[in-house]
Amino acid sequence: MKRDTLLPERFGPLQGVRIISSGRLIAQPFAGQLAAEWGAEVINIEQPEVGDVGWRTVGICLDAVDGGPPVSATWLQERRNEFCVSLDFSKPQGRDLFLKLIPHADIWMESGKAQTYPRWGIDDETVLKINPKLVITHVAGYGQYGDPGYINRAAYDFIGQAFGGMMYQTGFPDPSPPTRAAPWTGDYICAYMCLCASLAGLHYARATGKGQVIDLGHFEAIHRTLGGTMIEYFQKGVVRERSGNKALAFQPYDTFQASDGWVLIGSVTMPVFERVCKVIGLDPTDPKWRKAQREVESIEGIEFDAILRGWVSERTIAEVEKLFNDAQVPCCPVMTSRDIAENPHYKARDIHVEWEDPQVGKIKGIGVIPKFSETPGKIWRGTVRVGHDNELVYGSLAGLSKAELAALKGQKVI
C-alpha cells in the first residue's frame, strides 16, 4: 500500500493520517478540516461540477480572483488545507473509483441520511474487506438505526438542536420562543465528537490492526452536552426550563447593560460574591445580601440584582470590566466581531492570521487552534475549486492515467 503523503511536507500531530471526507455542510466536514490543520492528509469529496451544493456560496461571499463564482467566507475558513476531488458515488464507475481509494485511507467520514451508501454498493462490510484497519464514521441526523419513523428524516443544525434538547433550554422564559445557539453550534458540536470518535477508533486500529464502524447521530452529539438534564428528569421529574442568561442557583451570573453596551459578570462562589459587593458598595457580611447570593428569586435576590444593574448602567463597559477584574471577579464584554478584531489579547495570541487563498487571494481569518508546542499545525493552502485535485489524488492513489481521468470527467463521474 502506498503511504507517501500528498502533502507538500509533513507537519502537526496528525501527520501520517489520511482521511477521506465525503460529507456536506458542517456536522462532519468540519471534523476533517480540523484534522487537516493538525497535519492529516484530508481528501474532501464533492459532487462533480456543483460541489458541496449551497455551502460554497452561502452567506457573505468574496469575489474570486479568476473571475469564477464568488466564494463563501465560511467556505474559505473551513475548507482550507484539503485536497478537493469530485465523484459521483451513484455511478458504478464512481463506486469503483472510491473503493480504489479505500486501501490508502485510515479514516473515512461521511454524513447523509442513514444507509445512503449501501444503496450504491458501498456498504461497511464491503469497505472493511478492502481495508480491515479502516475506521468508518457515519454521521446522520438520527443515526443509522432506531425507530423507522425517524431514520430517513432530513436533519440540519436547527433540527439537531431542537431534537437533542438544547434549544428548549436556550433563550428566555415563555412567552419568548426557544432560541438556536448561533451560528451553527449543533453542527460544530457534532463535528468535534466526530473527530474525537474517529481518532479514538484509529488509536484502537493501530494497536490491534482492526478497524470499526462508528455510528454518530447528530442529535446524540448535542444531547451529550446537556449535563445533568436527564438525571434531573429521570430521578426528580424536573424539566429544565429556559432562564435566559441568568443562573438560578447563584448570582450574579448574567449579562448586564452598561452605558455603551453589554457586559457579563460571573460569580459562582460566596468569596467571589463578597468581592462583587465590595466593588458596588454593599456590605458583604450583611445576611440580607448573603441570602441574595444563593436565593436568586427571593425578595433579597431581586433587590440585589436591581442594585447591580443600576450600578452597571451608570458606567461604561471599560469601567465595569476594569473594576471587577481588578477585584478578581470574572467579567468581560459581550464581544462583537469588531471588538474581537481590535482586542489586544487576541492579537497577542496571534488568533487571526493572513494566508493566500487560490480562489480569492490574500485573506485574514481565524488561525490554527489549539497551539501544539512540539507539532504545530499550519495553513499550507487555502480553498480550491471543485475537483481541483482530481489528477493528483486519483493519479497517485488510484493509478489512473490522464486519459482515464479525462474519460471519467466526460462521463461526469468526476
Residues tagged active-site: 187
Cα–Cα distance measured from residue 116 to residue 247, given in angstroms and rounded to the nearest whole number: 43
Cα–Cα distance measured from residue 321 to residue 343, given in angstroms and rounded to the nearest whole number: 14
Which residues are 366's β-sheet partners?
Answer: 352
Alpha-carbon Rg for the chain in angstroms: 25
C-alpha cell at 77: 475558513
Residue 117 per-residue DSSP state: G
**Cβ 315 vs Cβ 259: under 8 Å:** yes
Backbone angles phi, psi at 120, to 5 degrees: -100, 10
C-alpha cell at 131: 481495508
**Cβ 164 vs Cβ 220: under 8 Å:** yes
**Cβ 157 vs Cβ 185: under 8 Å:** yes
C-alpha cell at 289: 445580601
**Over the range 224-258, which residues count as b (16 or more CB within 10 Å of their CB) and which as e?**
eebeebeeeeeeeeeebebeeeeeeebbbbbebeb
Cα–Cα distance measured from residue 63 to residue 316, given in angstroms and rounded to the nearest whole number: 39
* Maximum CA extent, the chain: 85
Backbone angles phi, psi at 356, to 5 degrees: -95, 120
**Cβ 276 vs Cβ 308: under 8 Å:** yes
Residue 252 per-residue DSSP state: S
Cα–Cα distance measured from residue 57 to residue 51, given in angstroms and rounded to the nearest whole number: 10
The amino acid present at 131, given as its one-letter code, is: N
